[in-house]
Amino acid sequence: MSKRKKIIKMRGSKTCAHGPKKKHRGRGSQGGGGLAGSKTHRQFMIMKTMPGHIGKYGFHGLKGRNIERDTKAINVKDLPALAENGEVDLDAKGYDKVLGGGWLDAKLTVKARSFTPKAEEKISKAGGKAVKTGQ
């Protein structure tokens, strides 16, 4: 019985070209290691072996979304500029809420959908009224 050649023995393994000056077949020539290409050229394999790994499922809540973003607000300090005859109707001007930023010296009657507690306090301290309108 003759001795089997080494190249026959190495056939089928990735180290088939086994010398130091020969090119070895590494991870790069296989399209990357690990989960590389899981969204492109290996997507089918990942979907088959790891179902549920790719994609979004279920309800994720409001994650970072500001619910109050649609509310248009104005600070107390900006009210005198909108005043007409000592009254400010913020519903007609397109504002929803009055915030307590700044100071108010003018005596004003302010009509709006909602007020922060500080805004109500500052308006009443200046001698005015904070009137809540219906939504």
In this predicted structure, what is the pLDDT of residue 69?
Answer: 60
Residues ≥6 apart with Cβ < 8 Å to 57? none
In this predicted structure, what is the pLDDT of residue 27?
Answer: 67
Mean per-residue pLDDT, 69-91: 87
Q: Average pLDDT of the chain? A: 81
Task: Kindly list the structural domains of the chain, giving each domain's residue range(s) and its CATH number in brackets, ordered by start.
Answer: 70-132 (3.100.10.10)
- As a whole number of Å, the CA-based R_g of the chain is 36
In this predicted structure, what is the pLDDT of residue 22?
Answer: 56
pLDDT per position as a tens digit, 32-79:
888 888 889 999 999 999 988 888 777 766 666 655 567 889 999 999
The verdict on pTM exceeding 0.85 is no
With H, G, I as helix, E, B as strand and everything else as coil, classify residue 81: helix
